């Protein structure tokens, strides 16, 4: 690992030590996910905490997540909810979904979270109603499609958060045959042309390298 990444990790360690409380359910979820051989591509603790804060700051009650993995980000999202709040989270891989269900059960969140298994495009097509916050974090190539579903499932004031919109800066290069980078580029172009959202994207460095997230507010 290079010196720059070590520095970013050290600062994330420091942020976590002071601002992100230790939590056995979250560390347990990471351990169970690693034991099951899931890729360690979940949000960082500091990013997870930010998701919890966004849920709290917006008084969100209904949260939609696209891309569950082992349910690490799902636990953070669910933690921000009031008693009657709910998360619906969508996952293609049954094995990932089963690990997530186990982690959510261990965290006492089974009643708050519904893990639906299948291709997100199909599952989103079946969803109705309005969500207060949507977190998009699945296959990057399909982000434009997930964004259009998120808009359909929104109301004025809904927050849409999209992970991995910078990808080490690759988003400003010719994507070539990289469908993920092409998907993110298309997504940002569509957002810029969409009058129903007010948006930004923030570049980040840290435990997950150099990447970034977009935040969109659905309004007039």
* Site residues, ligand SAH (CB under 6 A): 41-43, 67-69, 72-73, 90-93, 96, 119-120, 137-139, 142
Of 132 and 145, nearer to ligand SAH (C-beta) is 145
**Shortest distance, CB of residue 139 to ligand SAH, whole angstroms?**
4
CA distance 148 to 121: 10
Q: List residues near ligand DHB by CB under 6 A.
A: 41, 137, 163-164
Instruction: Collect all residues with Cβ–Cβ distance below 8 Å to 133 and sequence separation of at least 6.
Output: 54, 55, 58, 60, 62, 63, 64, 77, 158, 159, 160, 161
Position among 12, 52, 65, 137 found at the interface with Mg ion (CB under 5 A): 137
DSSP assignment of 125-182, as one string?
A: HH--S--SEEEE-S-GGGHHHHHHHHHHT--TT-EEEEE-SSGGGGGGS--TT-HHHH
Cα(128)–Cα(107) distance, integer angstroms: 27
Which among ligand SAH, Mg ion, ligand DHB, none contacts residue 159 (Cβ within 5 to 8 A by kind)?
A: none
Distance CA 175, CA 27 (A): 36
At closest approach, how far in Å is the CB of 129 from ligand DHB? 25
12 touches, from ligand DHB, ligand SAH, Mg ion, none (C-beta below 5 to 8 Å by class): none
Between residues 74 and 164, which has the closer beta carbon with respect to ligand DHB?
A: 164
Residue reference for tokens 């930010």:
50
- Give min distance, CB of 137 to Mg ion, in A: 4
115 binds, among ligand SAH, Mg ion, ligand DHB, none (CB under 5 to 8 A by kind): none
Contacts of 18 (CB under 8 A, 6+ apart): none
Beta strand 62-66 with 113-117 is unpaired
Nearer to ligand DHB, 8 or 85 (CB): 8
Q: How far apart are alpha carbons 19 and 2 in whole angstroms?
A: 26
Least distance (Å) from ligand SAH to the CB of residue 94?
10
Tokens found for residue 220? 């007039």
Nearer to Mg ion, 154 or 164 (CB): 164
The nearer residue to Mg ion, 79 or 167, going by C-beta atoms, is 167
Contacts with Mg ion by CB under 5 A lie at 137, 163-164
């Amino acid at each position: 690992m290079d010196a720059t990444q070590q520095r970013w990790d050290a600062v994330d360690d420091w942020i976590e030590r002071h601002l992100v409380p230790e939590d056995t359910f979250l560390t347990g979820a990471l351990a169970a996910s690693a034991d099951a051989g899931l890729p360690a591509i979940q949000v960082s603790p500091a990013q997870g905490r930010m998701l919890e804060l966004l849920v709290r700051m917006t008084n969100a009650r209904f949260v939609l997540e696209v891309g569950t993995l082992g349910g690490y980000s799902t636990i953070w999202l669910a933690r921000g909810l009031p008693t009657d709040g709910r998360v619906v989270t969508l996952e293609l891989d049954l094995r990932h979904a089963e690990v997530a269900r186990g982690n959510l059960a261990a965290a006492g969140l089974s009643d708050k979270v519904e893990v639906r298994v299948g291709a997100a495009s199909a599952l989103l097509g079946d969803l109705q109603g309005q969500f207060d916050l949507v977190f998009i974090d699945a296959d990057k190539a399909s982000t434009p499609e997930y964004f259009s579903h998120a808009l359909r499932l929104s109301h004025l004031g809904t927050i849409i958060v999209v992970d991995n919109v910078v990808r080490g800066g690759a988003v400003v290069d010719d994507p070539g045959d990289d469908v993920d980078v092409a998907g993110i580029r298309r997504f940002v172009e569509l957002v810029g042309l969409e009058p129903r959202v007010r948006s930004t994207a923030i570049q980040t460095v840290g435990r997950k390298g150099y990447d970034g997230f977009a935040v969109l507010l659905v309004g007039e």
